[in-house]
A and B are shown apart, each in its own frame.
Chain A
Amino acid sequence: MSAVAHPIVDHNVPPGEPPHIHHMDTPTAYGAAKLGMWLFLGTEILLFAVLFCSFAVMRYYHLAEFHDASKHLNLWAGGFNTVILLISSFTAAVAVTKAQKGDNAGVVKNFGISIVSGFIFLLVKGYEYSEKAHHGMFPFVWNSDFYHYKNFLGLYFCMSGLHALHVVIGMGLLYWYGVRPAMNNRFSGKYYTPVELGALYWHLVDLIWIYLFPLLYLVG
């Protein structure tokens, strides 16, 4: 075990019992955690809102270029990634139900699938990026032939890059707050807050992609 105390695993409470919080009771703490998480997800949506807004304005000015440029994205890779993320979101949702039933092994399995899906998503994304770099449609190696697509591609890299960063963060959260405590039989019907919050975050990653996929790959 690492020297740093794990916030959930290393509490001096028996497995399945909620941790003792000195300034509020358990239902209050559960409600607070959930409201806090939803507020945080709201800030994440607003972070992406700026990109969606910029997308709308840039698309208004460069409609033809956006149409053409989006055809240069790999639709099969994007579609595959969409399916992967939807499945991972499904397993994340199932993990919450497993935790509520006290099935810690189920949490490990389902969050595990979500994390692996995240890896696959990132691999495909990396393949797409390297393909773009190869063709000179990438920051720092712009090919002047594709200069007209720069507004679209600039937004594409900002949006998909920020999204990929969220995938990485989400994988970390699922492992640290879900898988690891679950391996210590931490969760039960009385206490599964971290699983639910981790899953919420992962669903957000999926939610953003639901909009990114058609905007970037399909209609441009």
Chain B
Amino acid sequence: MAAHASAAVNEELNYLNWQKGIWSWLTSTDHKRICFLYLFTILLFFLAGGVAALLVRTELAFAGPTIITDPHTYNVLFTMHGVFMIFLFVVPGIPATLGNFLIPLMIGAKDVAFPRLNLLSYYVYVVGALIGAVAMFNPIDTGWTFYAPYSTTTGTSVSLMVFAAFVLGFSSILTGLNFIVTIHQLRAPGMTWMRLPVFIWASYATAVIQTVATPVVGMTLLLIIAERWFGAGIFDPSKGGDPVLMEHLFWFYSHPVVYIMVLPAFGVVGEIIPVFSRKPLFGYKLVVISSMAIAGVGFIVWAHHMFVAGISDFSAKFFSIVTFLVAIPTAIKVFNWVSTMYKGSISFKTPMLYAMAFVFLFMVAGTTGIYLAMLGVDVYYHDTYFVVAHFHYTIQGGAVIGLIAALHFWFPKMTGKMYNETVSKFAFAALFFGFNLTFIPQFMLGMDGMPRRYYDYPAEYQTLHTISTIGAYLNGFGYTFALANLLYTALFGKVKAPRNPYNSHGLEWQTQSPPIHENFAEIPVVTEEPYNYGTPTGRGH
């Protein structure tokens, strides 16, 4: 892509230092600064959720009470883990951080369409997080799914927590809406739809889901409050309501929400693999179509979470069959990534390692997902550790690994510095090994019948649980190490990053590192297809 790098740019002045002071950060409408506001906040909750997870795993390391003396505390801890990780970390995850940073840069715009709305969405998120924090004084024990009728009757502060989730959803809507409009309206000249990087396509699909699915769960959560406050009689069976209706409405959002989490990671991997394979992305159009197809199909499969919830046989069969459709676009993506690497000249830099780990882990997640889509099999696997392992492969192996990969890949652009390859590869090894050590035993536990969310277990599950706990600590160490390495480099690193360290063709690499306040000294004109690596027309080699 031909970006006219203007010579008259002062390389010393960039978005990080053009205004000084904490106040200029907190009130900035610059999408790149908002990325960092989000990043620090969500990583805080990643830490909190991670600590909760480690406490849960420590409790489960040995049969019988280990460090927690009562089951209620255990219920609270896994609920905290779920709520923090889902609503406060993974959902805003890649879109609010790297999506914010990259979308305007990648399409050649100066900012998102509504910069003030962007900042507002951050503060709405903060308000939601604070309400959630207040709810922690009487912490909820419903699990992150808030199933009725337990959520409508338990004495913990469910109303406050679901209201927090409602507010967080509002923040998610504003982000998604902003991105859709940005991608429609602010593409640089020559940036046609079929020239958009796949990360933009993935973000677009994500933004659509964020915008249209989130209101559904928002209203459902408000109805839980209505049920608790004045017994609206919609979800509570003792008042003539239908608790399964609540599950329907909840999963109508919460199934698509896993695509909010994982689609941007697909985009990240689609950016990283071509650069480090020096080959064009295999089947660009199919990757684009499959992103949109995943967003669409995601809306018609929700009841596969409810096969044993008392839904009708007809419904269960219907949703089982349509769930298999999800496998098609996701398999297309995996095929395209692998084909891109095939016969490429691959360099195993840290982002590439994460991207390859992502492909592997996501394949495990996808294939075990097929097990769970099968009605007959799911009846046995439902609510066992098999499901726990499956969705951790999807969400952690997919979304979180994707975020870490993206942070490493765009780190030179975001901070203008280069991190230490050896240290980051070591962290990657700990993280990847620890992750598999945690969750492969959980697949086995699930197949042996260990139910999820249980505080205690019989002695025959002991070995696998202990291995899983050891893996969890290693996994946690890996994350801490990887993120600490990045944080240290950002603050104290000495090695300056060049404009385009990986020789990528993406527009974001054509401006200086770190970029200036309004991204481009001169709006670029796009003349080429993306990922023209090693082709006769491409500039790359």
Residues of A within 8 A of B (CB): 22-24, 28, 31-32, 35-36, 39-40, 42-44, 46-51, 53-54, 57-58, 61-62, 139-140, 142, 150-151, 154-155, 157-158
- Cα distance, A31 to B184, chains bound together (Å): 9
Closest to A7 in B: B116
Closest to B219 in A: A50
Q: Which of B185, B240, B249, B518 sits near A50, CB closer than 8 Å? A: B249
Q: Which residues of B contact A49 (CB under 8 A)?
A: 215-216, 219
Complex contact B109–A151 (CB within 8 A)? no
Of A35, A62, A157, most B-chain CB atoms within 10 Å:
A35
B232 is an interface residue with CB less than 8 A from chain A: yes
Q: Which residues of A contact B114 (CB under 8 A)?
A: 32, 36
Q: Which residues of A contact B212 (CB under 8 A)?
A: 42-43, 46
Complex contact B233–A151 (CB within 8 A)? yes
* Given A23-B109, A32-B113, 10 further pairs, Cβ under 8 A: A23-B111, A35-B180, A36-B114, A39-B177, A39-B181, A40-B177, A43-B214, A54-B234, A57-B245, A158-B223
Q: Which residues of A contact B219 (CB under 8 A)?
A: 46-51
Q: Are A58 and B113 also in contact (CB < 8 A) when A35-B184, A35-B185, A154-B231 are?
A: no
Complex contact B230–A154 (CB within 8 A)? yes
Closest to A50 in B: B219
Q: Are A62 and B242 also in contact (CB < 8 A) when A39-B180, A40-B177, A140-B230 are?
A: no
Complex contact B211–A43 (CB within 8 A)? yes
Of A31, A46, A48, most B-chain CB atoms within 10 Å:
A46
Complex contact A155–B177 (CB within 8 A)? no
Q: Are A58 and B241 also in contact (CB < 8 A) when A23-B115, A154-B234 are?
A: yes
Q: Which residues of A contact B404 (CB under 8 A)?
A: none
B4 is an interface residue with CB less than 8 A from chain A: no
B447 is an interface residue with CB less than 8 A from chain A: no
B322 is an interface residue with CB less than 8 A from chain A: no
Q: Which residues of A contact B23 (CB under 8 A)?
A: none
Q: Per DSSP, are chain A's interface residues mostly helix, strand or loop, or mixed?
A: helix
Complex contact B232–A23 (CB within 8 A)? no
B18 is an interface residue with CB less than 8 A from chain A: no
Q: Are A44 and B239 also in contact (CB < 8 A) when A24-B113, A154-B233 are?
A: no
Q: Which residues of B contact A44 (CB under 8 A)?
A: 215
- Cα distance, A62 to B184, chains bound together (Å): 45
Q: Which residues of A contact B231 (CB under 8 A)?
A: 139, 142, 150, 154
B220 is an interface residue with CB less than 8 A from chain A: yes
14 A-B pairs within 8 Å (CB atoms) are namely A23-B110, A23-B518, A28-B185, A39-B177, A43-B215, A46-B212, A46-B213, A46-B219, A47-B219, A50-B215, A51-B223, A154-B230, A157-B230, A157-B232
Complex contact B232–A155 (CB within 8 A)? yes
Q: Are A32 and B249 also in contact (CB < 8 A) when A49-B216, A58-B234, A139-B230 are?
A: no
Closest to A44 in B: B215
Of B111, B113, B214, B239, most A-chain CB atoms within 10 Å:
B113
Complex contact B181–A32 (CB within 8 A)? yes
Shortest Cβ distance from A7 into chain B, in angstroms? 9
Q: Which residues of B contact A50 (CB under 8 A)?
A: 215-216, 219-220, 223, 249
B293 is an interface residue with CB less than 8 A from chain A: no
Q: Which residues of B contact A58 (CB under 8 A)?
A: 233-234, 240-242
- Cα distance, A77 to B239, chains bound together (Å): 29
Query: B193-231 toward A: CB 8 Å interface, digit per residue (1/0)?
Result: 000000000000000000111111011100100100111
- Cα distance, A154 to B241, chains bound together (Å): 10
Residues of B within 8 A of A (CB): 109-111, 113-115, 117, 173, 177-178, 180-182, 184-186, 211-216, 218-220, 223, 226, 229-234, 239-242, 245, 249, 518
- Cα distance, A62 to B233, chains bound together (Å): 11
Q: Are A42 and B211 also in contact (CB < 8 A) when A50-B249, A61-B240 are?
A: yes
Complex contact B216–A46 (CB within 8 A)? yes
Complex contact A24–B186 (CB within 8 A)? yes
Shortest Cβ distance from B102 into chain A, in angstroms? 16
Shortest Cβ distance from A145 into chain B, in angstroms? 16
- Cα distance, A138 to B78, chains bound together (Å): 38
Q: Which of A22, A28, A139, A157 sits near B186, CB closer than 8 Å? A: A28
- Cα distance, A106 to B181, chains bound together (Å): 31
- Cα distance, A155 to B186, chains bound together (Å): 42
Complex contact A154–B226 (CB within 8 A)? yes
Complex contact B215–A35 (CB within 8 A)? no
Q: Which residues of A contact B518 (CB under 8 A)?
A: 22-23
- The 8 A-B residue pairs with the shortest CB-CB distance, nearest first, are A154-B232, A139-B230, A50-B219, A23-B110, A46-B215, A151-B233, A47-B215, A32-B185
Of B177, B231, B234, most A-chain CB atoms within 10 Å:
B234
Q: Which residues of B contact A24 (CB under 8 A)?
A: 110, 113, 185-186
Shortest Cβ distance from B232 into chain A, in angstroms? 3
- Cα distance, A42 to B115, chains bound together (Å): 21
Complex contact A151–B177 (CB within 8 A)? no
- Cα distance, A140 to B229, chains bound together (Å): 8
Q: Which residues of B contact A53 (CB under 8 A)?
A: 245, 249
Complex contact A35–B181 (CB within 8 A)? yes
Closest to B246 in A: A54
Complex contact A39–B232 (CB within 8 A)? no
Shortest Cβ distance from A66 into chain B, in angstroms? 11
- Cα distance, A194 to B114, chains bound together (Å): 14
Shortest Cβ distance from A203 into chain B, in angstroms? 18
Complex contact A150–B173 (CB within 8 A)? no
Closest to A48 in B: B219
Shortest Cβ distance from A140 into chain B, in angstroms? 6
Closest to A40 in B: B177
- Cα distance, A211 to B84, chains bound together (Å): 38
Q: Which residues of A contact B215 (CB under 8 A)?
A: 43-44, 46-47, 49-50
Closest to B232 in A: A154
- Cα distance, A199 to B214, chains bound together (Å): 24
Q: Which residues of A contact B234 (CB under 8 A)?
A: 54, 58, 151, 154-155, 158
Shortest Cβ distance from A175 into chain B, in angstroms? 20
Closest to B249 in A: A50
Closest to B184 in A: A35
Closest to A39 in B: B177
